Amino acid sequence: MKKVPYRIYLPEDRIPRQWHNIRANMKEQHEPFLNPATGEVLKKEDLYPVFCEELVEQEFDTTHEYIDIPDEIVEFYKMYRPSPLVRAYNLEKALNTPAKIYYKFEGNNTSGSHKLNSAVAQVYYAKKQGITKLTTETGAGQWGTALAMAAKYFNMDLTVYMVKSSYYQKPYRKAVMETFGATIIPSPSDTTEAGRAILKQFPDTNGSLGCAISEAVETAFKTENCRYVLGSVLDQVILHQSVIGLEAKAAFEMIDEYPDIIIGCAGGGSNLGGLISPFMKDKLEGKHNPYFIAVEPASCPSLTRGKYAYDFCDTGKMTPLAKMYTLGCDFQPSPNHAGGLRYHGMAPIISKLYHDGYLDEARAVEQTKVFESAVLFSQVETILPAPESAHAVHVAIQEAIKCRESGESKTILFGLTGTGYFDMTAYASFHDGTMTDYIPTDEDLERGFAKLPKV
């Protein structure tokens, strides 16, 4: 039998022409968004001031299993897609495991992550509607970079609210976004009511994704011909990110394999949702039964220790209420937590699939262990993972070691969502031994739960 190559590239004409909408396959839909002012089920029109109309359509679409990808977006995808499915031969060798480890590598574009897949879609639809300005938030900086790239490509103005800790930890991210013409504001800022309110209450805050979202939404709302775009959590984002899973599945078909275990890191859920989408369809339809694992940081454990409840998507409580696993919208992970995966909630689709048992397992892991795995992975596979992605690396290694112990030759797929070139501060703290772990106490979490909105 011919040996599978290290890197499996589909040809350009195999870039998906349709996104896969997992909601069309789900037995039950997640609970609807609620209007935070009225408590009523949210209507499409309620979202039009914030999101452009075609994205609102996608957000509410539970019936179309496949949605056409516009040609202009496919053209953009051609600059960095299909991304490779990589066989981790050297990691397998280092672990002495009979498991076959594959990763879908989304890091080989300038944003450094999978975020570009949805950024280009969201910018395209806004442009098509005649919108000229966009706002967003960014945490680790990957989403902001991705959006800056897409916005410049389509000649749209972009303002990015960047979580303050990242803004100062990652000045180079800022310079990259500026190369693509974006305006960057550290959040919380005094440019919005939401920002000023949070600064008044917590003058020394490092910021949070939830707070940056509030600021970006407020600005979009108050600026003419401007809309807000969001890099995770939303159903539309998981729809766009399905290109990851679709390409991965096509690549597995090409080599006549199918993964037994599928692992993704989960912050807001965009990568995990996109990676598992077409495989979840197989599971829901009884065709295959892959074991899905969501990996989250122990410092921000929304799936493993959160409540499945309605909550705001942002700290400023301006957004609709979503039914999701949440730590409470005020939750902020300890400042020693590196990189992304710091969101208080989890995408409603992911939350629902987890709650109903289709997403088999959520696993919380500590960051020093994650960086141990990141360093091993770097050394043998020569790709330096983003801290977020390293969570998936870590659990893939755990599962491969289990295979060594059991002698099973399982096929493991994980999402390597990005590269860590802009996260070297975190790597340096790991190298010099100053990196620590943080696990919130039950009391910490109870404080967040107590403030969940009564619905």
Residue 296's φ and ψ, nearest 5 degrees, are -130, 160
By beta-carbon proximity to its own copies, the closer residue of 197 and 380 is 380
Q: CB of 393: closest distance to its own copies in angstroms?
A: 13
Q: CB of 423: closest distance to its own copies in angstroms?
A: 9
d(CA 294, CA 317): 27
Closest CA to 212 of 223, 201, 228: 228
| Distances from the Cα of 154 to the Cα of 126, 353, 355, angstroms | 10, 35, 39
Q: CB of 380: closest distance to its own copies in angstroms?
A: 8
Residue 449's φ and ψ, nearest 5 degrees, are -65, -35
Q: CB of 5: closest distance to its own copies in angstroms?
A: 4
Contact (Cβ atoms closer than 8 angstroms) between residue 158 and residue 410: no
Q: CB of 372: closest distance to its own copies in angstroms?
A: 12
By beta-carbon proximity to its own copies, the closer residue of 174 and 410 is 174
By beta-carbon proximity to its own copies, the closer residue of 60 and 154 is 154
Q: CB of 96: closest distance to its own copies in angstroms?
A: 16
Q: CB of 335: closest distance to its own copies in angstroms?
A: 19
Q: CB of 152: closest distance to its own copies in angstroms?
A: 5
Q: CB of 76: closest distance to its own copies in angstroms?
A: 8
- Evaluate the CA torsion angle 281, 285, 289, 294 in order and state its sign: positive
Closest CA to 269 of 308, 228, 321, 324: 324
3-state secondary structure of 82: coil
DSSP per-residue string spanning 177-224: HHHTT-EEEEES-TTSHHHHHHHHH-TT----HHHHHHHHHHHHHHST
Q: 318: which residues sit within 8 A by CB, 6+ positions away?
A: 36, 194, 214, 217, 218, 221, 312
By beta-carbon proximity to its own copies, the closer residue of 67 and 380 is 380
Q: CB of 9: closest distance to its own copies in angstroms?
A: 5
Residue 274's φ and ψ, nearest 5 degrees, are -70, -40
Residue 27 class from Cβ within 10 Å (0-12 exposed, 13-18 middle, 19+ buried)?
exposed
By beta-carbon proximity to its own copies, the closer residue of 24 and 380 is 380
By beta-carbon proximity to its own copies, the closer residue of 48 and 421 is 421
5 DSSP assignment: P
By beta-carbon proximity to its own copies, the closer residue of 59 and 72 is 72
By beta-carbon proximity to its own copies, the closer residue of 292 and 422 is 422
Closest CA to 122 of 146, 100, 98: 146
| Distances from the Cα of 251 to the Cα of 22, 147, 272, 274, 400, angstroms | 19, 27, 18, 15, 21
By beta-carbon proximity to its own copies, the closer residue of 44 and 93 is 93
Q: How far is CA 299 from the centre of its chain?
A: 17
d(CA 329, CA 184): 24
Residue 162's φ and ψ, nearest 5 degrees, are -105, 125
By beta-carbon proximity to its own copies, the closer residue of 107 and 345 is 107
Q: CB of 218: closest distance to its own copies in angstroms?
A: 27
**Strand segments (E) across 206-355:** 226-228, 261-265, 291-297, 307-312, 321-326
By beta-carbon proximity to its own copies, the closer residue of 7 and 43 is 7
| Binding residues for its own copies (CB under 8 A) | 5-7, 9, 11-13, 78-80, 90, 108-110, 112, 149, 152-153, 171-172, 174-176, 178-181, 375, 378-384, 419, 421-422, 424-425, 427-428, 431
By beta-carbon proximity to its own copies, the closer residue of 91 and 233 is 91
Other CB atoms within a 10 A radius of the CB of residue 186 amount to: 18
Retrieve residue 88's tokens. Answer: 């981790």
